[in-house]
Amino acid sequence: MDIIKEEEQKTENSDFSGNYIDKFQDKNAEEFFAGSLLSWEHSKNVYIFHGEHASLEVTVESSDILKFRFANDGYFERDFSYALDPEYGTESAAVVHEDLDSEVIITTDVLKCHINKRNLSSKITTLEGSPVFEDEKGYHWQDHKHYGGHINICTKVLHKDEKFYGLGDKTGRLNLIGTKRELWGTDCYGYGNDSEPVYKNIPFYMGQHSQIGYGIFMDNTFRSFFDFGFERRSVCSFWSQGGQMKYYYIHGPKLIDVVRKYAKLTGTPQLPPKWALGYHQSKWSYYPESVVRKLGEEFRSRKIPCDVIHLDIDYMDEFRCFTWDSEKFPKPAEMIEDLKKQGFKTVVIIDPGIKIDKNYEVYRQGIAGDHFCKRMDGDLLKASVWPGLCHFPDFTKKSTREWWATLFDGLIKDGVDGVWNDMNEPATFEDGTFPNDVRHDFDGEPASHRKGHNVYGSLMAQSTFEGQKRFMQNKKRPFTISRSAYAGVQRHASVWTGDNVASWEHLKIANIQCQRLAASGISFAGSDVGGFIGSPDGELYTRWIQMAIFHPFFRTHSSGDHGDKEPWKFEKKYVDIVRRFIEMRYELLPYLYTVFYYNTQTGTPMVRSLHLEGHIDPETFYREEEFFLGHHIMICPVSEPGLKTRKMYLTSGQWYNYWTDELLDGGLEITVDTPLDQIPIFIRQGAIIPKQPKMQFVDEFVFETLTLDCYRPTEATQSMLYEDEGDGYNYMNTEGCVEKIFESSQENEQWVITQKKDGLFDPTYQSYQLKLHGLKQSPVSIFVDGVDLSGQIELTNSLPTLTISKNFEKIEIS
């Protein structure tokens, strides 16, 4: 393995374009290996193999998850992780082992792990013996001549036709094959398709070369690299520039199973407030107060739905975090309350840099509490961001995270509803980020910034989340957004894809990034609609909106010096289409909220690439633009100007065209019309899609009837509807939530729909309006719980419709 890139973040070492300059590259450094097995031992589900130069610990976390941990010279480091869910625990699994002449075999219910006695290399196979994941050189290391410690490396066999996915917000092709990727969170303003690294650090990828998919989570916060056949076509490798080599092997068999199991390790989000799934409007920056008020009035007068207004750094007093500029915003609490009356929530930005100012209370507290990062000789780190010279909290220190959480009292009392963390890679103006000699507490095991950098943003987001939760007193749910992240950030924050560009290329990039993030455990993600940098024309903005209504986080954001991006800034023909698609987002909120709930319970990604659903369908391996929202809706954005039609692939099964109700067979590439006011949307046969009336903001009014768009099945299909109050924590109790399972099936000549409920929450509406799609003629009869309601059928836009009780149990249509 060629080693490696020097880590100093100094101007002379980096061009800040994602191209890192190799200052201390040593291609001839000696490589060290574990050597042959000397002895081994086991206790319950933990096996330790001692080699001549290193030890290997294999923990059977469950029947389908194994943890590998290496100890150079036989000394294991602390087994500590910021990524793992605190609720995660090793599951009981049936494990047996065989001690053979040449190897030790550990067997669970679903896999075998072979440990070679000659060199401690490993191979994971199916129970039948088919190799899934196996060492090439295996684990080895080099001494880091510049910093000490080790560069820890794993090289694996890259099988024929193997595909790779994941790694968070990486740009480029969805399939990672043939690329080399780096994890070192970077403020990459105006990044492109070839930029590397970018903002987030998610060391989790998936591979598949047969019918078995697997995942690898390398839990290491040092600068890390992943090579998917870039240097050697037959080798996949991953390595870190310090720490210990610790990774989890996650067995599928399907890739979507791998994502769910990864969520067992790193956790799932809590349900956000429902308003956070509405439309957000942001700009750098809306000020003064009169501009913010006018913005709200424009949305309401133009009847364009919106739930959230974001305030960027200019609301602060000279960019001091947790303050208000008293001239621009003389009465912030009053303004926020007035916005609430109009249906708007307020989200404010908070960066990590704390201005060095003895008259600034937050600064004084930080000094008194010893909360700021220090250089290696004890001096406080000084670096410039928006306020000028700043100190920066050490979020790897528990007492600092607790202190940071206390700072949100004033903002929450002012009525702020959510917080947006920016610049938390961490980013600075002088050198891009902190120098490597900066010290971090790392929760009791002091380390340099080399170890703390990649996790800094996630820990800031965690503390921000906890601060909101503390002062909202369980009456409201926190809402946090983070630009940078490490694995597990989904437990505390949503994310966005950073400072993108108003271009058709970036519309495609946003699509791929959101798919990749969801497959990496982070479903609550979105992009700056229309691009942060530059000015889109009306067509580009419209097409971006049409895609983004299907992304969980839905926000237009822009740099004000590049022009405004409010929806009404374009020609009327575009404004009308944009309005209609934002209205569609609000109509689909019951479906979207249910998909989010399912993600919290199972880890199933909200946005899904075709390969997650197609699994062994080779047509899905390289498809990038089509994606699912939940299980029942497939979308294919329009990503080029002037397109009247586009090609897309429908996965197996049968699908209804959302616009025409035409039923099409899957497993085929099709050509779809794409007039400006449509993008390809398809609904799975048998799906039941809940819809609410269009609104200007979430819960604008109480409605009497919820619409169920019912699509005639060709095979039995289940759909879910989850409901609760939409905010607060009553949903944690049975009385505060309800799951409704609809099953739609074709029994002989009869279409049968059943409903089963779990939970006692009773929504305010009293009835369902059924809209029956896929009938070639109006039904002859409809019985609801044995009662003939055929005479009440109406035709609405050529669709048979019927209003029934929300408490029905069985519908029979013939």
Tell whether omega for the bond before 426 is within 30 degrees of 0, i.e. cis.
yes
Give which of 704, 714, 708 is closest to 740, Cα–Cα.
Answer: 708
Q: Does residue 476 contact residue 255 with C-beta atoms inside 8 Å? A: no
Q: Which residue has the tokens 């799906």?
A: 687
**Residue 196 falls in the annotated catalytic set:** no
Give which of 153, 157, 136, 120 is closest to 30, Cα–Cα.
Answer: 153
Q: Which residue has the tokens 């996949």?
A: 236
**3-class state of residue 259 by DSSP:** helix
Spatial neighbors of 304 by CB under 8 A, at least 6 apart, are 567, 568, 575, 578, 579, 582
Distance CA 31, CA 597 (A): 48
DSSP 91-135: PP---EEEE-SSEEEEE-SSEEEEEETTT--EEEEETT--EEEEE
Give which of 539, 491, 740 is closest to 644, Cα–Cα.
Answer: 539
Distance CA 811, CA 772 (A): 12
**Residue 422 falls in the annotated catalytic set:** yes
User: Helical H runs in 19-62?
Assistant: none
Active-site residue (options: 499, 587, 699, 739): 499
Give the rounded distance of the alpha carbon of 461 from its chain centre.
14
Q: Does residue 113 contact residue 122 with C-beta atoms inside 8 Å? A: yes
Residue 790 backbone phi and psi in degrees, to 5: -60, -35
Q: Does residue 205 contact residue 164 with C-beta atoms inside 8 Å? A: yes
Count the residues in the chain: 814
Q: Does residue 519 contact residue 169 with C-beta atoms inside 8 Å? A: no
Structure tokens at 804: 């029934």
280 residue type, one letter: H
**3-class state of residue 284 by DSSP:** strand
Spatial neighbors of 790 by CB under 8 A, at least 6 apart, are 779, 780, 781, 782
DSSP 688-715: EEEE----SSTTSS--SEEEEEEE--SS
CA distances to 187, 524, 584 from 722, rounded to whole Å, are: 38, 18, 19
DSSP3 helix / strand / coil % (the chain, rounded to 5)? 20, 35, 45
Exposed e or buried b per residue across 548-565, where buried means at least 16 C-beta atoms within 10 angstroms of its C-beta: bbbbbbbbbbbbeebeeb
CA distances to 78, 120, 150, 157, 723 from 70, rounded to whole Å, are: 11, 10, 12, 19, 46
Distance CA 468, CA 75 (A): 41
C-alpha radius of gyration, the chain, whole number: 27
Distance CA 241, CA 149 (A): 8
CA distances to 513, 654, 719 from 740, rounded to whole Å, are: 32, 24, 8
Active-site residue (options: 425, 566, 625, 723): 425
Distance CA 169, CA 650 (A): 25
Spatial neighbors of 747 by CB under 8 A, at least 6 apart, are none
**Residue 394 falls in the annotated catalytic set:** no
Give which of 496, 492, 453, 447 is closest to 469, Cα–Cα.
Answer: 492
Give the rounded distance of the alpha carbon of 740 from its chain centre.
26
Active-site residue (options: 6, 289, 325, 422): 422
Catalytic amino acids? 422, 425, 499
